[in-house]
Structure 1
Amino acid sequence: MDERIKEFFSWSDLFDYMVTRQLSHIRGNWELTWDHAAQEYEAEEDSYAELINRLVIELSELDPPLKYHDNEDRLAEYCKANLNWNIHKIGARWVGSDYASILEQGGFRDVNAGDLCLAACGRVKAALDRNQLHFDDMEEFHRKMLADVVAIILYHRSDQCITKLS
């Protein structure tokens, strides 16, 4: 387990604003509370906190891919081949549709969000390699992309996670 990845997502000023707020139409409690004693987001009713805590552990246990864009490219290729999207790649960028939409729709075929999780892990590793040790410290464009990838994973897993509060 890579503790740096867990620390990367810890107590953030921007994470809930950029990630879970996008999903407030699914779960209204989008604002996250950091539990300093447990070192995780506090599980609350109608919140993504429990799912996020599990996702962070999952990401910390993955071996980051050398080229996380390859994982994202598979999702885009799926959209192009199976959904007949008029998208194509110019250099390293997909054009013809919003990139987050491409990943979201391609993610429906991504069993258990495998490619999305590897892409997220790779994006975190790239940030760590650039000495951006926390989500809030990431370069703005890359932070936005990581936020979108994490939100897509949460969206795809929304129906699979029922927060159980004791």
Structure 2
Amino acid sequence: MFRLATVMRQVRPVSRALAPHLTRCYAKDVKFGADARALMLQGVDLLADAVAVTMGPKGRTVIIEQSWGSPKVTKDGVTVAKSIDLKDKYKNIGAKLVQDVANNTNEEAGDGTTTATVLARAIAKEGFDTISKGANPVEIRRGVMMAVETIIICCCFCDFSVSLLTFCISF
């Protein structure tokens, strides 16, 4: 074993002068506008549809195929979200964005990942529709963040009855 290590040290790597022709250059497939948004939204919808069936006390279980062992049966939204990997890279980008929402919700709150996923789909769908009609994406984000702040304030200072929450949201 010691001799093998000394022999391996004596083997010299390829000269750096020859390295440029050995490097790989991959072309990037870049899409803009409505095409990219449509594909990303398809990925968001696929993931959200799979996760949404687990919502609530009457939600259904999902069976996840695993490469090793028996299939996993779960009703946990974040587990379902983590198991989804799409072949199309643009759809996968949309799915990964919603996976991040589920993961962050799981880390911060520990529960509510299914609800967060369904809300993320609704926000993405409405946001993409509004952007396709010519709205400014920065203004949409500002509006969403203002709505979140308003809901947090209403939940902190209001009674949690549905009528008061509806009243707070109407502002």
* TM category, shorter: under 0.3
TM-score (structure 1 length as normaliser): 0.25
Q: Which has the higher helix share?
A: 2
Structure with bigger gyration radius: 2
Higher RCO (CA < 8 A, seq sep 6+): 1
